[in-house]
Amino acid sequence: MSGITKNQRTTKMKLAVVGATGLVGQEILKVIEERNFPFDELYLVASAKSVGQTAVFKGKEYTIKSIEEACKLSPDIAIFSAGGNTSLEWAPRFAEMGSIVIDNSSAWRMDPTKKLIVPEINGQTLTVDDRIIANPNCSTIQMVMALAPLHAKYKLKRIVVSTYQSVTGTGKDAVQQLQDERAGVRGSKVYPHNIDMNALPHIDMFLDNGYTKEEMKMVNETRKILGDETIGITSTTVRVPTIGGHAEAVNAEFQHDFTCSEARSILANTPGIIVQDDPKHNVYPMPINSHGRDEVFVGRIRRDESQPNTFNFWIVADNLRKGAATNAVQIAEFMLEKSLVY
């Protein structure tokens, strides 16, 4: 729960959620309500087709606004989840109006002038001058949550990661495609192939190096968040027919040796991490159990017997929660708690 109260601020807190009708936008609103994030005025913002419609939040009816109107209202904090092009155009305009923009798209993540934040790892780097803050990719967030405390102890050398990512990472239309295929309904498709009863080694567009943008996000964002460009990282990202929850198989090589029991202890004592690692009793993280949860679940912790200082583990998290909405709201909470909102 948020530890912020309205009494800590002397002016009204104006909050905007841009992309409020999308999957992530809806989840942001859930998180705001659950964590009792403080605001005096709330602006729900969506695309032109939704402007003027109404939505109910915490028992109050709100009229959905255009992004132009919301910008003129100069919210203190604007959480964006409306796509990269919208963020590139509008985040600077909101910032010029004095807003703090927390952006969930990939638009600003690798901009050297913008910070890429997971509050538990590098929130302390934020200052009052940060007006546009990038929210990392969902698959990156859950991986660095588990790796950061181990990196601090043993220093990462190389990461090999394969992901198994939910259709919710693509959005409402992808969920509908999966449901249509399962029901035998001929509908529109957002993937180039069927997703039901299938696995697609194809998330985002392919690049000239043969990797996808999603795979390179995990490489570049992990180095930026951990502040270490020397870490070797390779990634394969796969879309699977699950609704809610990404899973990752990670092979991590460190410069210093470790014991699995010590690594388990470090992870178990890290806020935001839950260790589920009792394979003899079939206890391990699964996407179905992460749905609606904010924690990152880690299990299948075992030494890689093929080379020194290396172990394997399995990471699962709800990609719409800690992978997107919760992390964004936590950034907003951090800015308020540290009095970085003016």
Alpha carbon distances (Å) from 341 to 10, 17, 98, 338: 11, 16, 9, 8
Identified catalytic residue from 138, 193, 202, 281: 138
Round to whole Å and give the CA distance between 126 and 129.
8
Alpha carbon distances (Å) from 283 to 70, 240, 292, 299: 47, 21, 19, 8
Round to whole Å and give the CA distance between 173 and 187.
10
Which strands, in side-by-side order, build the sheet including 310-317?
A: 232-239, 156-165, 246-254, 310-317, 296-303, 273-275
CB 164 within 8 A of CB 235: no
- DSSP codes joined into one string, 137-176: PHHHHHHHHHHHHHHHHH-EEEEEEEEEE-GGGT-HHHHH
Residues in a beta bridge with 158:
232, 253
Angle at which helices 23-34 and 326-337 pack, to 10 degrees? 50
Identified catalytic residue from 193, 246, 256, 291: 246
7, two tokens: 């009494």
Round to whole Å and give the CA distance between 294 and 218.
20
Name the residue among 12, 7, 70 with its Cα closest to residue 39. 12
DSSP, res 17: E
For this structure, is 246 an active site residue? yes
Residues labelled catalytic: 138, 246
